[in-house]
Amino acid sequence: MRLLLIAVGRLKAGPESEIASRYLERARAGARGVGLTGVDMRELGESRARRPEDRRAGEATAIRALAPTGTRLVLLDERGKSMGSEHFAADIGRARDSGAPAYALVIGGPDGLDPALRAEASLVLAFGAMTWPHQLARIMAAEQIYRATTILAGHPYHRA
């Protein structure tokens, strides 16, 4: 199973991009050891549609195109469910063990996520009730992906 971090918007070169990349590289290094075929970041350009609902719908179509059929789709949204790192890692492990081709953690654009995509998602998660800048959300998501691989491997990075 492949782990995907799908994000609407592109990070510019700089410290935020470097930090996110560093966590994803660490996750890639340990992925095979826990039965994952890889860890990928996929960025989408923001929709240029005039109306917010049209932008969300267009971005949802692009997100779906990046996720293979059968992907466990997990959206990040401030109205989502809170989940600890160990539970997140266990969710990834269950998806892997069930034969899902991919596990996609999705960060929406500035207008949020399309309601139809939310309805299709297996899970909607929140990094708390606060709104986070996309750069920080991307870093936090990358770190949690890395942390999940270490939890699945029994590595001491995660100390509960």
Helices vs. strands in the chain: H and E counts, helices first: 5, 5
pTM of the entire structure? 0.93
Q: Is residue 105 part of a domain?
A: yes
Q: Is residue 5 part of a domain?
A: no
What CATH number has the domain bearing residue 49?
Answer: 3.40.1280.10
| 8 A C-beta contact, residue 111 and residue 77 | no
Strand partners, 109: 112
Q: Is residue 68 part of a domain?
A: yes
Q: Is residue 3 part of a domain?
A: no
Q: Is residue 94 part of a domain?
A: yes
Token digits of residue 60: 């949802």
- Condensed to tens digits (0 to 9), the pLDDT of residues 12-68 reads 889 999 999 999 999 999 999 999 999 999 999 988 999 999 999 999 999 999 999
Q: Is residue 74 part of a domain?
A: yes
- Condensed to tens digits (0 to 9), the pLDDT of residues 101-149 reads 999 999 999 999 999 999 999 999 999 988 888 899 999 999 999 999 9
Q: Is residue 58 part of a domain?
A: yes
* Residue 106 structural domain: 10-153
C-alpha 74/C-alpha 124 separation (Å) is 6
Instruction: Please state the domain count of the chain.
Output: 1
pLDDT of residue 160: 60
Q: Is residue 109 part of a domain?
A: yes
Handedness of CA 26, 66, 133, 113 (dihedral sign): negative
Q: Which residues neighbour 122 within 8 Å (Cβ) at sequence distance 6 or greater? A: 72, 73, 74
